[in-house]
Chains A and B, each alone.
Chain A
Amino acid sequence: MSDISKDLKEQPKFQEEIGDKSQEHHTFEIEKPNTLKKIQNFLHGNPTMIPVIILILSVSAFGMIAGGKFFSAFNLSLIIQQVTIVGILAAAQTLIILTAGIDLSVAAIMVLASVFMGKLSVQMGIPTSVAIMVGMASGAICGYLNGWLVTKFRLPPFIVTLGTWNIFFALVIFFSGSQSIRSRDIEANAPLLHFFGERVKILGAQFTYGSFLMILIFVVLWFVLNKTAWGRHVYAVGDDKEAAELSGIRTDRMLLSVYTVAGVILALGAWVSIGRVGSVSPTSFYEGNLDSITAVVIGGTSLFGGRGSIVGALFGALIVGVFSSGLSIAGLDVLWQRFALGCLIIIAVGIDQWIRRISN
């Protein structure tokens, strides 16, 4: 850098002499790739636009392929029902990924909380509300444990949550005794656990209370992330941890709170999942962690932290839902659904990298 400035200092006259001409030359050169640059700039300022565009495109594409069957109010509301759980997982995942972390244990935390809720209320006769509280606490503790390992021992989140994923999954098997809790037993002993599975019909569309809760979680998180200091600090910590520290943010405390909040959201997801599935199964949502990361990434949130939006994760989850619904209505094999999703992930990360290059 100093060499360049030295060079410039030695040739000030030269610059002044050709000043006008050189500027003409420059503006000409810059204007050529302008439209692409404009798109890049626009997407940089509005990262949520990518998933929105993909969602609109995929909805219209499947609408054309599968016709009215896809576009029926019933089917569209079914898609929202189907993405409820992945959506909640993705909401928690977004918080972690914004801090430049990743959580492979999200689904295991959720299933563990649902096992606690079901086991205590159905099989041990503890009041359902208490069982739910215990489940919520277990989610918070699991999240706190992840955060503690990440901050206290400076371990990479990937490794920490890879470990806790296995630990939590083992606990799920231990506490459940590998047994599912049947829907009938839940209905008889603890109907409150099915609360979020209840449906309301609006103009032929069906919504579960769980879907409303998912939307509510996203709305609340949007406000928290954009309008509160805590939310701004989530971005700052993920963007540049050292800078955040020097700005006076207690980054370790911040990370600990993010992982704990994620755990609480996952425990809420556990309650919703019991309503959605009906039963409590220790082996359910085994791929939930990867599904949630897929939704977050397709939603335009950067895996490197600090960039992205919570709403993106909702759109990401919806895109996955639209793809699986559209492809199955169109009569295509499930394998093509996976194929398409795989392509989407790579494209989404590619676009993210391209947008990030703006700063250079």
Chain B
Amino acid sequence: MEPVLQAKGINKRYGKVVALDNADLELYKNEVLGVIGDNGAGKSTLIKALCGAVQPDSGEILLDGKTVTFDSPIEARKTGIETVYQNLALSPALTIADNMFLGREIYKKGFMGKFLRFLDQSGMQEMARKKLSELGLLTIQNINQQVETLSGGQRQGVAVARATAFGTKVIIMDEPTAALGVKESRRVLELIGEVKARGIPIILISHNMPHVFEVSDRIHIHRLGQRLCVINPKENSMSDAVAYMTGAKAPPSN
């Protein structure tokens, strides 16, 4: 089977520091790929290369088997790769609807939209409401509420809803539960399941082992700038994963 998103032999140096040393990654259809690794292993550089925030020195990124190059996150987004950043990249003073369409607004039809660039606000609100309720986030009642009045989990929900509204190929989630309490984390993990059920593969980067093991189909372990191994969470324990990650135990040969 051909991977949806593939990284082949990616190298990235920052001066003398080698962040990525011939790193590979494959993401297949209908899966959640967990990405774990110790601090400084290079996993965030790898993810940034995939979402266009970092340009690799060499190596290839393939989307549906075709080579792509991203000069910015905007270009990655245009191909259908959406990223939910750890800091969410939401504007707190703007409303939920504004935030969901920030940077890719829908304009009114006809003269008002075409020449005066007026926004189709009711259309965007309608779509935002639809997306939120599809993901079971109807607890947010007022789509014109400012994002800063929402709880951490609700904000995460808005960011995820934004990603699913536009992410047609791949969704990358960077530490989505790091800032959340127990209940809210649970909700976000459910959300990941719902997004997966909609047929969009997900890359999940997290330090939280129980969360990664709960939702991932495969787990990519990153170490010293490369992929160390890919393990099946059903056949490996969390302590195994930590041991591989830190180099305390040799990785399984697969």
Contacts and interface: CB of A to CB of B under 8 A. Distances in A.
A263 to B, nearest CB: 21
B95 to A, nearest CB: 10
B28 interface: no
Given A228-B117, A229-B117, A244-B102, A239 B91 contact: yes
Nearest to A243: B89
Interface stretch (B36-44, B130-138, B176-184): B176-184
A247 interface: yes
Interface in B94-127: 94, 98-99, 102-105, 107, 116-119, 121
Contacts of B99: 247
A240 B73 CA distance: 17
Contacts of A74: none
5 contacts: A45-B146, A247-B89, A247-B99, A248-B102, A306-B92
A24 B78 CA distance: 50
A230 interface: yes
A9 interface: yes
A343 interface: no
A359 B178 contact: no
Contacts of B185: 5
A18 interface: no
A8 interface: yes
B85 interface: yes
A42 to B, nearest CB: 12
B46 interface: no
Contacts of B182: 5, 8-9
A53 B104 CA distance: 37
A126 to B, nearest CB: 33
Interface residues of A, number: 29
Contacts of A4: 181
Interface string A273-310: 00000000000000000000000000000000011000
A345 interface: no
A246 interface: yes
A66 B148 CA distance: 44
B93 A246 contact: no
Given A227-B121, A307-B93, A232 B102 contact: yes
Contacts of B103: 233, 244, 247-249
B188 interface: no
B149 interface: yes
Q: Which 4 pairs show the lowest CB-CB distances between chains A and B?
A: A248-B103, A246-B89, A359-B148, A247-B103
A232 B178 contact: no
A228 B77 contact: no
Interface of A: 1, 4-5, 8-9, 44-45, 223, 227-230, 232-233, 235-236, 239-240, 242-244, 246-249, 306-307, 358-359
B91 A244 contact: yes
A155 B180 CA distance: 36
Contact of B102 (A8, A227, A236): A236
Q: For the side of the interface on B, what is the size category?
A: 20 to 34
Contact of B104 (A1, A236, A248): A248
Given A1-B181, A244-B91, A359-B92, 18 more contacts: A1-B179, A1-B180, A4-B181, A8-B181, A8-B182, A233-B102, A236-B91, A243-B87, A243-B88, A243-B90, A243-B91, A244-B103, A246-B85, A248-B103, A306-B92, A307-B93, A358-B148, A359-B148
B18 interface: no
B72 to A, nearest CB: 8
Contacts of B121: 227
B174 to A, nearest CB: 11
B74 interface: yes
Contact of B149 (A8, A235, A236, A359): A359
Contact of B119 (A8, A229, A249): A229
A306 B83 CA distance: 24
Contacts of A229: 105, 107, 117, 119
Contact of B117 (A230, A240, A249, A359): A230
Contact of A247 (B102, B118, B148): B102
Nearest to B150: A359
Contacts of B85: 246
Contact of B94 (A5, A230, A232): A232
Contacts of B90: 240, 243
Contacts of A246: 73, 83, 85, 89
Contacts of B117: 228-230
A243 B93 CA distance: 12
A111 B87 CA distance: 44
B173 to A, nearest CB: 14
B181 A235 contact: no
Nearest to A229: B105
B178 A1 contact: yes
B29 to A, nearest CB: 26
Interface string B144-155: 001011000000
A249 B104 CA distance: 9
A247 B121 CA distance: 18
Given A229-B105, A247-B102, A239 B93 contact: yes
